[in-house]
């Protein structure tokens, strides 16, 4: 009589193996599925200086014309879209880990900001938003569009 070790997870391991092998049989499906669920969420660093707050947003591959920066109801809104590079055919890729798509990040501003003089510039894939400080009593709460330089 042959004695074999019982593996309660044998069937699950087999299903898992078949599922991940499926992506190699349909690479375009894998590309579309992964990009649709991951989306693009840019990484943000915020810091406070003596005279201003700084928001640095990593936006590699995003053109400055595709970035929108607004202040509305004391909320800084940074939005835009990171597009897939069309100059390379999707069939040429084996795997794409880069995420792309529309994004939006919102930040509630403190009461001591000068919304009228917020500036934004994009260089080397990093958007820098500079939010000057003022006395909290002089702060205005209004809608403003900021041009990205």
Of the candidates 41, 46, 35, the one whose C-alpha atom is nearest the C-alpha of residue 81 is 41
Q: What is the pLDDT of residue 139?
A: 57
Of the candidates 88, 76, 82, 85, the one whose C-alpha atom is nearest the C-alpha of residue 40 is 82
Q: Which two tokens stand for residue 104?
A: 């939006």
Q: What is the pLDDT of residue 147?
A: 81
With a cut of 70, say whether residue 10 has pLDDT above it.
yes
Residue found by looking up tokens 């990171």 in the block: 82
Residues 64-85 have a mean pLDDT of 90
The domains of the chain are located at: 11-146
pTM here is 0.66
C-alpha 145, offset from chain centre: 20
Per-residue pLDDT of 97-130, as tens digits, reads 777 888 999 999 998 999 899 999 999 999 999 9
11-146 sits in which CATH class? mainly beta
The residue ranking higher by pLDDT, 62 or 90, is 62
Residue found by looking up tokens 């055919």 in the block: 89
Q: Are 71 and 144 in contact (CB under 8 A)?
A: yes
């Amino acid at each position: 009589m042959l004695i074999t070790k019982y593996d309660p997870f044998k069937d699950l391991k087999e299903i898992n193996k078949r599922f991940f092998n499926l992506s190699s049989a349909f690479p375009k499906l894998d590309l579309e599925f992964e990009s649709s669920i991951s989306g693009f969420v840019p990484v943000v660093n915020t810091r406070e200086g003596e005279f201003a707050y700084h928001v640095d947003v990593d936006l590699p591959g995003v053109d400055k014309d595709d970035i929108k920066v607004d202040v509305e109801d004391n909320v800084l809104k940074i939005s835009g879209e990171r597009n897939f590079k069309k100059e390379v055919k999707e069939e040429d890729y084996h795997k794409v880990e880069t995420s792309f798509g529309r994004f939006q990040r919102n930040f509630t501003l403190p009461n001591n900001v000068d919304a009228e003089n917020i500036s934004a510039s994009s260089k080397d894939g990093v958007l820098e938003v500079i939010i000057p400080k003022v006395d909290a009593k002089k702060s205005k709460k209004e809608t403003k569009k900021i041009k990205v330089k």
